[in-house]
């Protein structure tokens, strides 16, 4: 039986996620499968991949053929590198401990790069939020200044009207006293 490691499409329109499955090459894309070994969610940034490393390595070693996308995923997770290193162990180029050391060094470097990307993204988000807050604060200050200016104008006009009314009342009172 020709087996393939491939993606099954799940989810809904514009939000697909993909279980990574081992399936007979003749089975339909979303149909029958032999084993589910992980999942791939491209909707997050960076894309989220969960993978049963040992089972993926087992299926690669027994001859399951990955599709192009799955090959990239397996390569990113280190399954293809481990297969390559195990080939070196079988040939006697180096021992299993050296293969593990090389793999762990590669994995640590890769994890550091991913963490750097996540940190950079987090910092950019914080900077954007801070910038937006500063702009909002400036707008609010300008608005508050305009409102205060308008209130001051209204208060000044009201005070002037009251002063005129008081002056008119005094004149009327003075005229009434003079007439009396």
Residue 62 lies in a domain: yes
Total structural domains in the chain?
1
Residue 45 lies in a domain: yes
Under-70 pLDDT residues of the chain: 1, 180
Residue 84 lies in a domain: yes
Is the whole model's pTM more than 0.95, yes or no? no
For residue 63, the model assigns a pLDDT of 93
**Token pair 């593990």 is at which residue?**
100
For residue 62, the model assigns a pLDDT of 94
Residue 159 lies in a domain: no
- Cβ neighbors of 55 (< 8 A, separation 6 or more) are 35, 37
Sign of CA dihedral 113, 116, 118, 124: negative
Residue 66 lies in a domain: yes
Classified as helix, coil or strand, 38 is strand
Strands 15-24 and 65-66: unpaired
CATH number at 52 reads 3.30.1320.10
Q: Are 78 and 106 in contact (CB under 8 A)?
A: yes
Which residue range(s) make up the domain with 65? 3-93
Q: What stretch of H or E contains 48?
A: strand 48-51
Helix/strand/coil (H/E/C) assignment for every residue in 115-133: HHHHHHHHHHHHHHHHHHH
Distance between CA atoms of residues 3 and 65, nearest Å: 6
Residue 12 lies in a domain: yes
Q: Are 42 and 104 in contact (CB under 8 A)?
A: no
Residue 108 lies in a domain: no
Residue 21 lies in a domain: yes
């Amino acid at each position: 039986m020709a087996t393939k490691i491939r993606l099954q499409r799940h989810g809904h329109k514009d939000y697909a996620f993909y279980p990574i499955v081992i399936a007979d090459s003749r089975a339909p894309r979303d149909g029958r499968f032999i084993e589910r070994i992980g999942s791939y969610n491209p909707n997050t940034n960076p894309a989220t991949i969960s993978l049963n490393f040992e089972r993926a390595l087992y299926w690669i070693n027994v001859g399951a053929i990955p599709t192009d996308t799955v090959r990239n995923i397996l390569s990113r997770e280190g399954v293809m590198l481990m297969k390559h290193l195990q080939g070196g162990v079988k040939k006697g180029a180096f021992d299993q401990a050296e293969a593990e050391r090389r793999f762990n060094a590669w994995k640590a470097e890769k994890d550091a790069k991913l963490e750097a990307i996540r940190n950079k993204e987090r910092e950019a988000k914080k900077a954007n939020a801070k910038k937006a807050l500063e702009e909002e604060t400036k707008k609010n200050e300008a608005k508050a200044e305009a409102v205060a200016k308008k209130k001051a104008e209204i208060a000044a006009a009201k005070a002037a009207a009251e002063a005129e009314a008081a002056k008119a009342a005094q004149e009327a009172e003075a005229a009434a006293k003079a007439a009396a």
